[in-house]
Chains A and B, each alone.
Chain A
Amino acid sequence: MTDLPLAANPAKSRTPRMPALVMASAIWLSLMIWVMLAAQLLMPWDFEATDLLGRMKPPFPLAGYDPAHPLGTDQLGRDLLSRLLVATQTSIALALLGTVLGAVLGTAAGFLAAHRGGWVDEAISALIDFQAAMPWFIVAMAVLAFLGNAMWVFLLLMGLYGWERYARITRGLVLTAREQGYARAVHALGAPPRWIYARHILPNILGPLIVQVTINFPETILFETSLSFIGLGIRPPLTSLGQLLGDGRDYMINAWWLAVMPGGVIFLSTLAMSMLGDHLRNRLDPSLED
């Protein structure tokens, strides 16, 4: 009896073990989720309210801080904590949306390629190769230049980022899973392809796909913040962590916190997601290193 579990096999009930760093990562990420959901309730000030008399106030432990602005204020006297909360909300929500879009798109393309085969498979595989060969960051810049910086273009670009990796993984896994005894047996029972894919194949290949999500999510954060940093993504009056950092860069000499705070939030978020992803990957599928 050969029993080759493809992915998450609940048979391996290992003792749950969560190192301190992983625990800290989980806490940080749940904090970020809360900010994403409820930034408006948490912020002490309107993030756009300016106060020209209280400009570039330093954050809490530094001399001359203002208790009303625990993280200080920016060059227009806007409360940094409030701006940070809104920017985090935008960045995390966009990254989540982009990741989900890419995962759904890529998984669907992978299923389609594996299911149809023939020229459909060839065409999707060629698109996968094309996407993998082109630095998407550059393509995104060019598209934003050609089509103008509209929100839907930006979202589309984020959603297309990384789809090819899901597509490649899904295609391979589906082709393998379809040859598994259980898939063939259910087919012989008279189940239509939709039934087999939804009830048997997708749940069995979910593990590697989730691992890919944990790899893609931090990269999508970096993709959005990088574009916003160079002034091409989210632009005022909206704000994102990359855009805050890009703005703060101009005041590094007098107010380093304007750049360091948003940068720190980005760094901690990508770090936490990578840590958690590594942990998950080791538990779900030790063979999938990098």
Chain B
Amino acid sequence: MSQAAVDALMLPPPLLAAEGVRLGYATGRRGWFRPAPRFLAVDGVSLTLSRGETLGIVGESGCGKSSLARLLVGLAAPEAGVVRFEGTAMPAPDSAAWRALRTRLQMVFQDTGAALDPRLTVRTQVREPLLIHRQPDPEARCDEVLAQVRLGAHLWDRFPRELSGGQVQRVVIARALAPRPDLLVLDEPVSALDVSIQAQIVNLLHDLQRDLGLAYVFVSHDLGVVRHVAHRVAVMYLGRIVELAPKAELFARPRHPYTQALLASVPVADPARRGARVAIPGDPPSPQHPPSGCRFHPRCPLAVPRCAAEAPALRALGATDVACHRAGEPGLPSLAAMLSGPRPAMAPMSVREPA
């Protein structure tokens, strides 16, 4: 047995690990003589997350990041691969073991405005997970978390409609925190909020992580926000992770052409640099009919014939894991450099979600 293997046995398992998970959806009705058409929203994703760490997952709308979030929190069962929480495979959704595990893993959904029952007060809803899991002293715990998310006590008996977007988000976070979870999966937690409120929530998440040792999976289309919260960042394109790197590394030295394009297309507040946004040629292909080989190759200016034939696996390149045949080639031009400058009319790549 090699030393590395012995180390692997001795080390505690990561808090959360996904091993080659895959999740597909039917996209139409089953015919009498043909199966329902399907597409893979998540196609063979592996990653790990340590206690107290924040993993950012970024990508365009439809890249499968929300589906990945559902897999990681256990709301969906992967059709291939496995998600492990503290080394144990995630139980099947809706089983008793799965329900019990909900106290350890919590999710904050996209569209927080709809996440609260319009008929119940803040306090009732924050107390709910405690009642569901029959935890002791729900009243006190409820008050405690509401104070932790810094929601004014005068709002605790209000209804959701009487709160602002930011306040609702604090309630949703408080409800998720109430059963003392170790991991929070946040799906676009701030994208519906004003920028100033976004900063408040991001800071709150930061403080909660520091005080409680929480781990986060932070799903967003907004690289700017991810940059503020994540320790590591995974970039997804059409159901696959194309690059996974520590935050500083990813922003300083993006290795995958798609990551480079994403970074270059982030809107910049500096007026002097306005107009320097670059565009990736072509539209994102339909997830129902993904391209062969590297899924980015039809839009990639660096593509070579091998890219269409063979899907690249994630490989280590310094501190970065990247899935690109050409990444790391000496003298390879940066994509942003290739794309900037006057070009024929092309749609700028949108990283904004549709409203």
Decide if A and B touch, CB cutoff 8 A. Answer: yes
The answer, yes or no, to whether B175 is at the interface (CB within 8 Å) is: yes
Shortest Cβ distance from residue A58 to the other chain B in the assembled complex, whole angstroms: 55
For the A-B complex, the count of residue pairs with Cβ-Cβ distances under 8 Å equals 76
Shortest Cβ distance from residue A12 to the other chain B in the assembled complex, whole angstroms: 10
Give the residues in chain A near B117, CB-CB below 8 Å.
Answer: 182, 186, 200, 204
Give the residues in chain A near B115, CB-CB below 8 Å.
Answer: 181-182, 185
Within 8 A of A (CB), among B89-120: 98-103, 106-107, 109, 111-119
Shortest Cβ distance from residue A132 to the other chain B in the assembled complex, whole angstroms: 25
Give the residues in chain B near A11, CB-CB below 8 Å.
Answer: 118, 159, 161
Shortest Cβ distance from residue A14 to the other chain B in the assembled complex, whole angstroms: 15
Give the residues in chain A near B133, CB-CB below 8 Å.
Answer: 190
Contact B111 A190, beta carbon cutoff 8 Å: no
> How far, in whole Å, are A200 and B118 apart by their CA atoms in the complex?
9
> How far, in whole Å, are A163 and B344 apart by their CA atoms in the complex?
65
Give the residues in chain B near A38, CB-CB below 8 Å.
Answer: none
Q: A1-B113, A2-B111 are in contact. Are A189 and B175 (CB under 8 A)?
A: yes
Q: Which residue of chain B is the closest to A10 with respect to CB atoms? A: B119
Within 8 A of A (CB), among B157-180: 159, 161, 165, 172, 175, 179
* B-contact 0/1 string along A1-35, CB 8 Å cutoff: 11111000111000000000000000000000000
Give the residues in chain A near B98, CB-CB below 8 Å.
Answer: 190
Contact A184 B109, beta carbon cutoff 8 Å: yes
Give the residues in chain A near B75, CB-CB below 8 Å.
Answer: 188
The answer, yes or no, to whether B53 is at the interface (CB within 8 Å) is: no
Contact B132 A191, beta carbon cutoff 8 Å: yes
Contact A1 B116, beta carbon cutoff 8 Å: no
Give the residues in chain A near B159, CB-CB below 8 Å.
Answer: 10-11
Contact B161 A3, beta carbon cutoff 8 Å: yes
The answer, yes or no, to whether B128 is at the interface (CB within 8 Å) is: yes
Task: Point out the residue from A5, A180, A184, A190 that lies within 8 Å of B129, measured CB to CB.
Answer: A190
Shortest Cβ distance from residue A203 to the other chain B in the assembled complex, whole angstroms: 6
The answer, yes or no, to whether B71 is at the interface (CB within 8 Å) is: no
Contact B116 A182, beta carbon cutoff 8 Å: yes
The answer, yes or no, to whether B73 is at the interface (CB within 8 Å) is: yes
Contact A2 B114, beta carbon cutoff 8 Å: yes
> How far, in whole Å, are A25 and B222 apart by their CA atoms in the complex?
58
The answer, yes or no, to whether B192 is at the interface (CB within 8 Å) is: yes
> How far, in whole Å, are A118 and B332 apart by their CA atoms in the complex?
56
Q: In this complex, which of A1, A11, A184, A192 has the most chain B Cβ atoms within 10 angstroms of its Cβ?
A: A1
Task: Point out the residue from A3, A186, A192, A199 that lies within 8 Å of B118, measured CB to CB.
Answer: A3
Shortest Cβ distance from residue A26 to the other chain B in the assembled complex, whole angstroms: 25
Task: Point out the residue from A185, A189, A190, A200 that lies within 8 Å of B100, measured CB to CB.
Answer: A190
The answer, yes or no, to whether A267 is at the interface (CB within 8 Å) is: no
Within 8 A of A (CB), among B219-255: none
Residues of chain B whose beta carbon lies under 8 Å from any beta carbon of chain A:
73, 75, 98-103, 106-107, 109, 111-119, 128-129, 132-133, 159, 161, 165, 172, 175, 179, 192
State the 7 A-B residue pairs at the shortest beta-carbon distance, nearest first.
A181-B114, A190-B102, A1-B113, A190-B99, A182-B117, A185-B115, A189-B129
7 contacts between A and B (CB under 8 A): A1-B114, A3-B118, A188-B107, A189-B129, A189-B179, A199-B128, A203-B119
